[in-house]
Amino acid sequence: MKKITVLDVTLRDGSHSMRHAFTEQQVREVARGLRKAKMKYFEVSHGDGLGGSSLQYGFSKVDELKLIEAAREECGESAISVLILPGIGVKEDLKNAVKAGAKMARVATHVTEADVAGQHIYLSRELGLKTVGFLMMAHMAPTSVIVEQAKLFESYGAEIIYVTDSAGALLPHEVKERIAALKSHVSCEIGFHAHNNLSLALANTLAAVEAGATYVDGSLRCLGAGSGNTQTEVMVAVFDRLGYETGIDLYSVIDVANEVVAPFMPRPQEITGSSLIMGYAGVYSSFLLFTQEAAKKYNVDEREILVELGKMKAVGGQEDLIAEIAREIANHKQTVN
């Protein structure tokens, strides 16, 4: 029986959908539920990683270190992961996260920029953390480039390398190709992180596992950026049906999803026209709420903004482009009229 490690990202990727407003009590309740479900790892941090609480990305309602500490007090044998993006999070953020209780660090870069992660990965290993290289926006690079970048992560000391479909833009055959190539060219374990903007998160996750991935991400009730992630409780049930071993108690993970997470969700994680366009155009999933705000402010169709962002190949960190594009569309319409 093949073993699969499911990592739950509700308390990190879900922060985008929650506008970074998780409370300590919510974190404690989710952590207790995931502990009962025997989740091996779950992630706690600002949606944009350690240090992400800012004017550009959105301020956290509660300091992320306090949330990590709260999760640590409730997690039992489960382990806490944190995400860190070099340039947003600094070394001191990672050290502080370890003091607060983190046991895994996922060092995330754009798919072509793994070379900026060396110092963070070295530090993570020095601190005794399970260390992951996280290649974001994986649809934006050919497989050969992804292999090159993964080899860089491996050379720095990453123990697991993730193909990350940040825009929810990949199709199953594209996921298989990327995962299989990494399995052939690096010795690390391989992971996959999906978004559901094209309603393919679960299909892509299964494709990744079939191609050799042994770590996969999910979020309870799909709570995450854009249309959310692969739904953790559904994924666990499907893996069980397929004969994969996750070690997760199905009833308990369903309970924490329905009884804890569902009541505090600001809205269902459904595929709207806008999130669909994000996957279609290949736009970073965390841009959704920023785009909706800009569309309302300038009275333009948010889909037009997303299509332009896709044409520009915008990536995380370029949120300022959203308002600029919305303003240009509005000005153009006034000129035409």
Is residue 153 within 8 A of residue 120, CB to CB? The reply is no
Place of tokens 């520009």: 312
Does 185 belong to an annotated binding site?
no
Does 41 belong to an annotated binding site?
no
First-to-last C-alpha distance (Å) of the chain = 64
Does 284 belong to an annotated binding site?
yes
Catalytic status, residue 16: yes
How far is CA 261 from each of CA 13, 22, 94, 137, rounded to the nearest angstrom?
A: 13, 11, 27, 27
Within 10 Å of residue 259's Cβ, how many Cβ atoms? 11
Is residue 232 within 8 A of residue 8, CB to CB? The reply is yes
Cα 96 to Cα 211: distance, rounded to the nearest angstrom: 36
Is residue 59 within 8 A of residue 51, CB to CB? The reply is no
Cα 232 to Cα 216: distance, rounded to the nearest angstrom: 10
Does 286 belong to an annotated binding site?
no
Does 115 belong to an annotated binding site?
no
CA angle 176, 211, 80 (to 5 degrees): 100
Cα 40 to Cα 24: distance, rounded to the nearest angstrom: 21
Catalytic residue (choose from 16, 20, 46, 139): 16
Name the amino acid, one letter, at 155.
S
Does 173 belong to an annotated binding site?
no
Is residue 203 within 8 A of residue 229, CB to CB? The reply is no
H helices present in the chain, as ranges = 14-17, 24-36, 64-74, 91-100, 118-126, 143-156, 172-185, 201-211, 232-242, 250-255, 262-264, 273-281, 288-298, 302-311, 320-336
Place of tokens 């091996």: 40
Active site residues: 16
Binding-site annotation, residues:
12-13, 166, 193, 195, 284
Binding-site annotation, residues for Mn(2+):
13, 193, 195
Binding-site annotation, residues for substrate:
12-13, 166, 193, 284
